[in-house]
Amino acid sequence: MGHLDAIEAIIIALVVTQLVISAAATAGHRLSIPPPLILVSAGVGVSLIPGLPDFVIDPQIILLGLLPPLLYATAASIPVSNLRRELTGVNALSITLVVLTSLGLGALFVLLIPDLGFGWGVALGAILSPTDAVATSIIKGRGVPSRIALILDGESLLNDASALIVLRTAIVATSLGFSFWPTVGSFVLSLGIAIVVGWLAAHANLAIRAHVRHEAVSTILSFTTPFLAAVPAELLHGSGLVAAVVAGFVIGTRGPRRLPPRHRLSDAQNWATIEMSAEGVVFLTMGLQLSRIVEQLRVEGIGVPVAIGFALLALVTTVAIRALFVASLLWRLGGRESRVHARKARVEAMRQDFKAGRLPDSIASAMKGREVGPGSPMFQNMRRRARRYLADIDYLARQPLGRSEGILVVWAGMRGAVTVAAAQLLPAWTPHRPLLIFIAFAVAASSLLVQGGTVGLLVSRLFGGRGQGATAPDPEEGRRIEALLARVEAKLSRTEGTPVHAHRLEVLRAQRHALLDARDDGLIDADLLGEALRDVDVDEIVLEMRQR
């Protein structure tokens, strides 16, 4: 058989890749093994087969081709009201911990490789510092407390940008020197550009899709959103990954108010397929690159056992730094939550005053006699803030962060394909570049296999078995949702002459808006609200189909 031309080879590679991903997903489900672990192992095994050509992938394909849609999809599914409550912890993990880990590992690599230089050591530390959003998917469906899953998701969505900015800064510092304020300004500017571009891209996408009637067309347009956010942000020297995340947050929050339920159902089904395929490609290609990385290491004359030793020491150091930081963070969060709980009685009294249509005495005295009526926007805003504050207290009380949660946050912070891709961004003149790339690969692979392979057992030991870790919904929450839906329906009585189906559609749409208001205020458990919203969507879709 003659040589396959390039197009045929690409088609065969794509078909084989999808078959392997499907097989890994099926085997993982039956064997209770996370598919990413199977795919990484398969990729490593294939890469070591003698005679096969080296597998080379441009790191930008991972960073701008695969990660933006994956981060976007994760962000779109996160309850923003819950993430708002965790911003202190998420920001600390995604920014402060990244910087501390980069500096700590930089010092370690200077000791291990004396002629490397601190700047390049920090660069490698930045490459190893971010947890991987795709890697943390390993913990999903394992009974992990929803609050912990949210914190890990939030961290992994945002820390890639921090790490890449530290990496760029360290590379520049090796030749031009380090300057604190310009670095801080560059970081803030990069995030600011990403936030603005991501917000604009999401709102533009929603504005267009709101006028599209065909759900397939709407879904196609949804696939463009992460790239419409990430690519312009990168061209403007912002963070494309953060822009994709911001776009996901906006779509997840505003989409249910702007898009028909049929469109959102189509989005959910198709995005699930895209996520599985893209995640599989990320992990499989990560494993396939091993032989090339090892060959580059041998050319430099460095023994693989020595490099593996460096990588394992780096992984242990990374986990140790994370453990110390998380312990400190939980102590600070515990103090904050204690202060919040101490204010509950006072805020509850204020809420009762607002419900009665009067200003609390403490606020009235601060207003210095200014009249604020119950119907004024200021009064309603203060009432909403009191209601949200009490909902935040209830949320924190339902899922306190203790020792077990802290251990899981430490161990579930896995490295992955982002680390491997970022390592290949090191410029050609980087000293010991093959060694640094190998260390990055070895840390990511061992983190996935060791931490990812044991996190299920850890969850079982900490939280009493698979499926038992997630906080059980409060039955009272379900009754509150039923009461909310009943109140909305009672307010909308059918007028004479209005068709039954038209009235029912009006009720369903009003119920959806009431549920979304409760979601945005964080008044009811986000998972239960999500189920109620899906029920309302299905009812509306069925009603519309019957009228066709």
**Closest CA relative to residue 144, chosen from 524, 471, 373, 548:** 471
| pLDDT at residue 466 in the model | 42
Close Cβ partners of 309 (under 8 Å, ≥ 6 residues apart): none
- Neighbouring CB atoms inside 10 A of 482's CB total 11
Segment-wise mean pLDDT, segments of 10 residues, the chain, 548 residues: 64 84 86 82 83 76 86 87 87 93 94 89 93 76 80 88 85 72 76 93 94 89 94 91 92 90 87 86 83 80 87 96 95 82 80 78 70 75 82 81 91 87 86 90 90 87 60 71 88 79 87 88 79 88 79
Cα→Cα distances 50→42, 44, 46, 47, 441, Å? 15, 12, 9, 8, 20
Q: Is 141 left (phi over 0), alpha (psi -120 to 50) or beta?
A: left
Calpha distance 339→408 (Å, rounded): 25
Q: Check residue 78 and report its DSSP letter.
A: S
CATH number of 32-334+401-463: 1.20.1530.20
Close Cβ partners of 132 (under 8 Å, ≥ 6 residues apart): 156, 414, 415, 416, 417, 418, 419, 444
| pLDDT at residue 548 in the model | 66
Calpha distance 382→359 (Å, rounded): 9
| pLDDT at residue 110 in the model | 92
**Closest CA relative to residue 86, chosen from 78, 76, 74:** 78
| pLDDT at residue 322 in the model | 96
Q: Check residue 374 and report its DSSP letter.
A: T
The token duo for 459 is 């969850």
Please check whether residue 531 is in contact with residue 482, taking contact to mean a CB–CB distance below 8 angstroms.
no
Backbone angles phi, psi at 375, to 5 degrees: -90, 0
| pLDDT at residue 411 in the model | 93
Please check whether residue 62 is in contact with residue 486, taking contact to mean a CB–CB distance below 8 angstroms.
no
Backbone angles phi, psi at 65, to 5 degrees: -100, -40
335 sits in which H/E element: helix 304-342
| pLDDT at residue 232 in the model | 95
The token duo for 375 is 């119907």
| pLDDT at residue 467 in the model | 42
| pLDDT at residue 120 in the model | 92
| pLDDT at residue 89 in the model | 92
Q: Three-class SS of residue 294?
A: helix
For the chain, residues classed under CATH 1.20.1530.20 are 32-334+401-463
**Closest CA relative to residue 522, chosen from 51, 20, 82:** 82
Calpha distance 333→9 (Å, rounded): 54
| pLDDT at residue 318 in the model | 96
What DSSP letter does each residue of 397-458 carry, written as one string?
HHS---HHHHHHHHHT----HHHHHHHTTS-TT-TTHHHHHHHHHHHHHHIIIIIHHHHHHH
